[in-house]
Amino acid sequence: MEMMKIWFASSEVDPFIKTGGLADVAGSLPVALRKMGIDIRVVMPKYGQIAAKYTDRMEFLGSVEVDLTWRRQYCGIFRLVENGVTCYFLDNEYYFHRDWYYGQSDDGERFTFFCRAILDTLPKIGFQPDIIHLNDWQTGLTGLFLDAHYRQFRDDGFFRNIHTVFTIHNLRYQGVFSRDMMDSVLGLSWTYFNPNGIEHNGAVSFMKAGLNFSTRITTVSKTYAQEIQSEYFGENLSGTINRRAADLRGIVNGIDYELNNPEGDARLFTPFSATDLSGKHANKAALQKQMHLPAKDDIPLVGIISRLVDQKGFDLVARVLEEILSYDVQIIILGTGDKQYEDLFRSAHHAHPAKVSARIRYDALLAQRIYAACDFFLMPSRFEPCGLSQLFSMRYGTVPVVRETGGLKDTVIAYNAVTGEGTGFTFANYNAHEMKDALLRGMAVFADKPAWERLVRTCMLQDFSWEHAAREYMALYQEILDHSNPGTDAPAQPIHANPVGISEPNESVEPARSGNGMEESR
């Protein structure tokens, strides 16, 4: 049987470039799929910020010309094998040697170039995939270009039978740009500019193109897949998503269990295991000392690692923070974000120096030590497509306190005080006092040391490794190939642009966000 071939496209991939959870997925899922016997190759932009320890090892393979209407832009192709996976880097210094990866005034053009280059590179490197796996809005035009410019218009049929999978990592960030791009950059027929094509509220939406021109759609948890079909979570795209509901799957992300192993993680103060928790207590004492908090093991230590924004529930935290601090508790905060929340935690740090330690910055080493040393991890998100922090915290025996939404609902089992079953403390409604009550329930169990240690061990013994997610993706890929129409030249590509501008149900005229959102600050 011929090896399945996957072309995995992402705007960021760990360890090369990372702003959030997308990079974690793009760095780990292909490794797991490669171990299962899939010929999976990763493609991403060659940003100027990629470290020399990687660029010095890259092999230059040649170049292609990428058409952007009247422009033909150079695209260099570099290759590097990392963690057993072959990675390709698409080089154009004008587009990708910038101060930052996203948030540029010409992001629409930059990532149009990337979407075209994802396709143009394939014949040059001699790789003809069965499926192109696309991730978030930065790759969203690829399926549309495949349909409009590549599938039927190459005499050799190279692209004719290629399918696409489009994964939504965060629906809020959609890549919305001016309709003027249709002529000036995209070079598409205006028949594609309609609600069943690329148009959204009079603008071009990369996310909508991804939703409408993919064989299958996935998102990063089963609950989020259901949530985004509603108006509340659907970010003004619930009509499109409901129309594609039969092709939508939720697959929970995983984490790297080899890298994140409390028994051998050199980033910790000391190793520990589920059978010997003494090292976890030692990590707690060392972190309390580092963060200038009293080193008391009997005080519950709560960790927060996050972007400090409304999505992550910090309006709830702000409402009851002083009430929480009236109890015997310590809180460590690591992250950056909205000024109001940065100021909130700085103020609490100065007002309660024995209870609050705030570090308003990004610090990967400190983050790992917080995951390992704290008793609780607080994550009260308004919405959370998957979330990784609760998975990291459980791996290190830090009990999550979360709202029941998205991937948090799928991965954290509410603790039952009668049976002792469960892996965390949860609350359903987006309500500050329900959040506080969940934390207080946890603190009551913390006071019962035998029950608490059983809970910690239960968390550590959960398995959220990438193997489970990889098997689900592999089954999805196989399902797509099994449902191709045998004996025909073209695959079952279910959605094509409708030249008639039919309005979609449940889609409002509110603008979508155009920028990139980080899944996690880590």
Q: Is the pLDDT of residue 93 over 60?
A: yes
What rounded mean pLDDT belongs to the chain?
A: 92
Query: Token match 């093991």: residue?
Result: 297
CATH fold label, 5-254+467-482? Rossmann fold (3.40.50)
Q: Which of 6, 7, 24 is nearest to 16 (CA)?
A: 24
Q: Quick one: 357 exposed, middle or buried, by C-beta within 10 A (0-12, 13-18, 19+)?
A: buried
Name the more confident of 511 and 109. Answer: 109
Q: Where are the domains of the chain?
A: 5-254+467-482, 278-460
Residues 433-442 have a mean pLDDT of 98
Residue 253 CA to residue 407 CA, distance in Å, equals 8
Residues 462-469 have a mean pLDDT of 94
pLDDT in tens, 278-323: 999 999 999 999 999 999 999 999 999 999 999 999 999 999 999 9
Residue 324 CA to residue 291 CA, distance in Å, equals 19
Residues 61-88 have a mean pLDDT of 96
Q: Quick one: 471 exposed, middle or buried, by C-beta within 10 A (0-12, 13-18, 19+)?
A: middle
Coil, strand or helix at 207: helix
Q: What is the pLDDT of residue 38?
A: 97
Assess whether the region 5-254+467-482 and the region 278-460 belong to the same CATH fold.
yes
pLDDT band of residue 485 (cuts 50, 70, 90) is: low
User: Dihedrals φ, ψ of 330, to 5°?
Assistant: -125, 145
Which residues of 317-372 form beta strands (DSSP E)?
Answer: 330-334, 356-359
Tokens representing 235 are 């970010």
Query: Full-prediction pTM beyond 0.85?
Result: yes
Q: What is the pLDDT of residue 152?
A: 74
CATH superfamily of 278-460: Glycogen Phosphorylase B; (3.40.50.2000)
Q: Identity (one letter) of the amino acid at 283?
A: N
Q: Which helix (H) or strand (E) holds 77?
A: strand 71-82
pLDDT in tens, 43-57: 999 999 999 999 999
pLDDT in tens, 23-35: 999 999 999 999 9
Strand pairing of 399-403 and 425-427?
A: parallel
pLDDT band of residue 219 (cuts 50, 70, 90) is: very high
Give the angle 58-61-63 at the CA atoms, nearest 5°: 120
